[in-house]
Amino acid sequence: MSQPRHFIVGTELTRAELAAVVERAVELKHAGSDGPQPLQGSSVALLFQKPSTRTRVSLQVGISQLGGQALLLRSEELQLARGESVKDTALVLSRYIDGIAVRVGEHSLLEELARHASVPVVNALTPLHHPCQALADLQTLRERFGAVEGLRVAYVGDGNNVCHSLMLLGARLGVEVIAATPAELRPDEAIVAEAGDLARVVDDPVAAADGAHVLYTDVWVSMGDEGDEGDARRRRELLEPYRLDSGLLARARDDAIVMHCLPAHPGEEITADLLYGERSAVWDQAENRLHAQKALLEKLLV
């Protein structure tokens, strides 16, 4: 049996493969729900430890539109909750289904599952990476600007999993990503280095925004950080100067767009006028999770 193709970080795809997935996502969007159904007879497990709106719904709907069956598996309902190993879970699930999408609180758990699975495993979010979001982002850039190579994205806020994936996958297709973050919330240095010359980190959001095609932000307090009130308060204090507002947008190009991976908190990381304004691509981003993930599943499973 051949080794399965996993999508854990996103760089498992070559530049050519990534570009093809983005183009296929655009095609599938135009085809709508009446498009091809290459997953007829296939089942994909959705193993979720964390709450989800866009990831869960877009995957379930996308698998259905491709002709497959999605099985939602909450970790607390599996024997994982009673001490069964990740290895054994992977070995068993691989006998039943054709792919696994995983949204978990520890990146190492995802890596272990992929190590023992004999079917493709897709990262549907971990604290370290969110490559499915980056796929949808690249599709959105492709639609808005016609091509992605040479674009400059200013990511402003917390240097988190979304920032990591945007840097890594963006660099694959020639997108420059400049992250403006507080020193305490900078992205992982090893990931920035892996992204290469097209990824940079600065302190000043204005410097990042100057001449940018895109201004991008994410929530200030992510899942996993909400329970610690002291940490949440400290994050908000650190990120207060990094709010995405009209003043910052004015430093970008005249044709610049605004992006946010959602959920959003208007008045915190982004002002309402930008989130809902005419230069917002946020809702296209959200829709494109469906089409980009369909293209990815077609690539990995067919």
Choose the weakest-confidence range: 73-77, 225-229, 261-265. 225-229
Closest CA to 188 of 168, 216, 160, 208: 160
- pLDDT (0 to 100) of residue 226: 61
Q: Is the pLDDT of residue 252 over 90?
A: yes
Q: Mind listing the pLDDT tens digit for each residue in 172-188?
A: 999 999 999 999 999 99
176 forms bridges with which residues in the sheet?
A: 152
Whether the CB-CB separation of 209 and 232 falls below 8 Å is answered with no
- pLDDT (0 to 100) of residue 280: 98
> For 237-255, what is the mean pLDDT?
98
- pLDDT (0 to 100) of residue 239: 98
Q: Is the pLDDT of residue 16 over 80?
A: yes
Rounded distance between C-alpha atoms, residue 24 and residue 296, angstroms: 9
- pLDDT (0 to 100) of residue 294: 98
Q: Is the pLDDT of residue 104 over 80?
A: yes
Q: Is the pLDDT of residue 79 over 70?
A: yes
Please tell me the pTM assigned to this model. Answer: 0.97
Categorize the per-residue pLDDT at 33 as very low, low, confident or very high, splitting at 50, 70 and 90: confident
Categorize the per-residue pLDDT at 223 as very low, low, confident or very high, splitting at 50, 70 and 90: low
N-terminal to C-terminal alpha carbon distance within the chain = 15
- pLDDT (0 to 100) of residue 2: 77
> For 184-213, what is the mean pLDDT?
98
- pLDDT (0 to 100) of residue 228: 79
Q: Which residues are catalytic?
A: 103, 130, 133, 218, 261, 289
Q: Mind listing the pLDDT tens digit for each residue in 42-73?
A: 999 999 998 899 999 999 999 999 999 999 99
Q: What is the mean pLDDT of the chain?
A: 96
Tokens of 169: 């996958």
- The set of residues, in sequence order, having a beta carbon less than 8 Å from that of 267 and lying 6+ positions away, is none
> For 192-212, what is the mean pLDDT?
98
**What structural domains and CATH numbers belong to the chain?**
15-129+287-301 (3.40.50.1370), 133-286 (3.40.50.1370)
Q: Please tell me whether the peptide bond between 263 and the residue prior to it is cis, using omega within 30 degrees of 0.
A: yes
Rounded distance between C-alpha atoms, residue 149 and residue 171, angstroms: 9
Categorize the per-residue pLDDT at 19 as very low, low, confident or very high, splitting at 50, 70 and 90: very high
Q: Mind listing the pLDDT tens digit for each residue in 82-96?
A: 999 999 999 999 999
93, burial (CB in 10 Å: exposed 0-12, middle 13-18, buried 19+):
buried
Rounded distance between C-alpha atoms, residue 296 and residue 302, angstroms: 10
Categorize the per-residue pLDDT at 229 as very low, low, confident or very high, splitting at 50, 70 and 90: confident
- pLDDT (0 to 100) of residue 222: 81
Q: C-alpha dihedral over 64, 68, 74, 79, to 10 degrees?
A: 170
Q: Mind listing the pLDDT tens digit for each residue in 107-159?
A: 999 999 999 999 999 999 999 999 999 999 999 999 999 999 999 999 999 99
